[in-house]
Chain A
């Protein structure tokens, strides 16, 4: 197993932070774009670009609601996004375990 087995959509610092942050919410919950931006510490442009990549992969969904001052964009992790993160974590653990094992 090598680094290439890690999902390239998730395997980037910013997207990894986004996916992990969203995974801490309950499955039916979402997080506003503004709060997500505050937590991740990216510019709005950067965050949009990363979210687009995750959305294209089917890992997150964004839902716009309200108008004017009440406008809100909610971002949530899809079930396939949760599964992808679980798989990513599992591969990562195997890579790290392999790296610490003494050479046989």
Chain B
């Protein structure tokens, strides 16, 4: 009890904080506190976007190389599918670590909106893969499954990015969402082989461009 009381007194004494604080030191403290808060509390979206850009270009590229020249289309090689799965998992883990760390401890309306945004994105992508399984089970052709598998996750991601209230004022991410919708819808016309190369390249470039724009904005 006595120890508690003296600890409290020590805290209170330290907390009085009455040392003279000159203006230049105050300005330095402000700059340092602001820089630290922004570094810790703001998710490094440029890194997240760059990761997804590389995941799509390399993962979709690997699938494209494995199906290139198939007539008729029979589907990607197991090794390239495994590579894409591992890359997607790495992208998801990177996103969860970066965004989760930054959002820890933040509450209130905008933070809740961001959590709903990520839940919607996760549910949408999981639903897309579940539907792909159902289509295969119902006897859908390899060609249809190829096109669907390449563009459906992209379409869902694009729609969530474009419509999410959490990103209402984030025009660069909304533009990326619109770009993903356009890429998904148009590259599907390239057929089950071409779609992997085209969608992977265009969506990957979109994510990398968004990373550059976002980095510039965060530094401003």
A→B interface (CB under 8 Å): 3, 6, 11-17, 20-21, 23-26, 28-32, 34-36, 38-39, 42-43, 45-46, 49-50, 72, 74, 76, 89, 92, 95-96, 99
Most central of B27, B30, B34 by chain A CB within 10 Å: B30
Q: Which chain A residues border B11 with CB–CB below 8 Å?
A: 43, 45-46, 49
Sort A-B residue pairs by CB-CB distance and give the 6 closest, nearest first: A35-B105, A45-B11, A49-B15, A29-B108, A32-B105, A12-B17
Segment with Cβ contacts to A, from B37-45, B58-66, B134-142, B178-186:
B37-45
B23's contact among A30, A50, A96, by CB below 8 Å, is which? A96
Residue of B nearest to A53 (CB): B15
A96 and B37 alpha carbons, distance in the complex (Å):
24
For residue B14, CB closer than 8 A to chain A, the reply is: yes
For residue B111, CB closer than 8 A to chain A, the reply is: yes
Q: Which chain A residues border B8 with CB–CB below 8 Å?
A: 45
Residue of A nearest to B9 (CB): A45
A-B contact pairs, 17 of them (CB 8 A): A6-B26, A13-B25, A20-B29, A21-B33, A24-B37, A24-B42, A25-B106, A28-B110, A29-B109, A30-B106, A31-B105, A34-B105, A43-B11, A43-B14, A46-B11, A49-B11, A96-B27
Q: In which size bucket is the chain B interface?
A: 35 or more
Give B107 Cβ to nearest chain A Cβ, in Å: 5
Contact A11 B26 (CB under 8 A): yes
Contact A16 B29 (CB under 8 A): yes
Contact A95 B108 (CB under 8 A): no
| Interface majority SS (helix, strand, loop, mixed), chain A | helix
For residue B22, CB closer than 8 A to chain A, the reply is: yes
A34 and B107 alpha carbons, distance in the complex (Å):
12
| Interface majority SS (helix, strand, loop, mixed), chain B | helix
A59 and B36 alpha carbons, distance in the complex (Å):
21
Give B166 Cβ to nearest chain A Cβ, in Å: 11
Q: Which chain B residues border A32 with CB–CB below 8 Å?
A: 105-107
For residue B24, CB closer than 8 A to chain A, the reply is: yes
Contact A24 B14 (CB under 8 A): no
Q: Which chain A residues border B107 with CB–CB below 8 Å?
A: 29-32, 72, 74
Contact A45 B15 (CB under 8 A): yes
For residue B2, CB closer than 8 A to chain A, the reply is: no
Contact B108 A3 (CB under 8 A): no
Known: A3-B22, A12-B21, A24-B37. A35 touches B104 (CB 8 A): yes
Residue of A nearest to B42 (CB): A24
Contact A29 B110 (CB under 8 A): yes
Contact B27 A92 (CB under 8 A): yes
Give B17 Cβ to nearest chain A Cβ, in Å: 4
Q: Which chain B residues border A43 with CB–CB below 8 Å?
A: 11, 14
Contact A89 B30 (CB under 8 A): yes
Give B218 Cβ to nearest chain A Cβ, in Å: 12
